[in-house]
Each structure stands twice: as structure tokens, then as C-alpha cells.
């Protein structure tokens, strides 16, 4: 059986007057980055998992 690893997680950060999407990218097993327009920051996995997912992408 093939195993898959989550590589991307898209989240919707909606505000009362607008919506905004960000992408969380796993660059290594223990390293996540938050892509927010032109701003890229390192984040903990707990921060990634605390967001409601909109789209999940996996790699083999």
C-alpha cells in the first residue's frame, strides 16, 4: 500500500468584510512555511493544524 504525505494546506482567513487565502507548505518533515501573498514565515505544525483547511494536497 502506498503512503502519502501532506505537502500543502490552503486555508481561508475570512474577515467580516473580505476573504483571504493563505498556503502552508511543508518543506521537510518538521518544517512548515506560511505563504501569505509576498510574505513567507516559518510556522509550527500546531499553527497549521489550527486553521480550517480549504484544500489539502498530498505527495507520494
pLDDT at 16 over 70: no
Per-residue pLDDT, 47: 92
Q: Which residue is it, cell 481561508?
A: 12
Q: Tell me whether residue 15 is in a domain.
A: no
Q: Tell me whether residue 14 is in a domain.
A: no
Segment 19-59, tens digit of pLDDT: 788 899 999 989 999 999 899 999 999 999 998 888 888 88
Domain extent for 24: 2-8+20-58
Task: Write 29-34 long-range contacts (CB < 8 A, 24+).
Answer: 29/5
- For the entire predicted model, the pTM comes to 0.75
Q: Tell me whether residue 13 is in a domain.
A: no
For the chain, the residue count is: 60
Q: Where are the beta strands (DSSP E) in 1-52?
A: 5-12, 21-28, 31-36, 39-43
Neighbours of 37 (CB within 10 A): 8
Count: domains in the chain: 1
Amino acid at each position: 500500500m502506498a503512503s502519502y504525505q501532506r505537502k500543502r494546506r490552503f486555508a481561508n482567513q475570512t474577515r467580516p468584510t473580505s476573504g483571504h487565502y493563505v498556503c502552508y507548505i511543508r518543506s521537510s518533515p518538521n518544517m512548515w512555511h506560511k505563504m501569505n501573498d509576498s510574505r513567507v514565515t516559518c510556522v509550527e505544525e500546531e499553527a497549521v493544524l489550527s486553521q480550517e483547511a480549504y484544500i489539502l494536497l498530498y505527495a507520494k
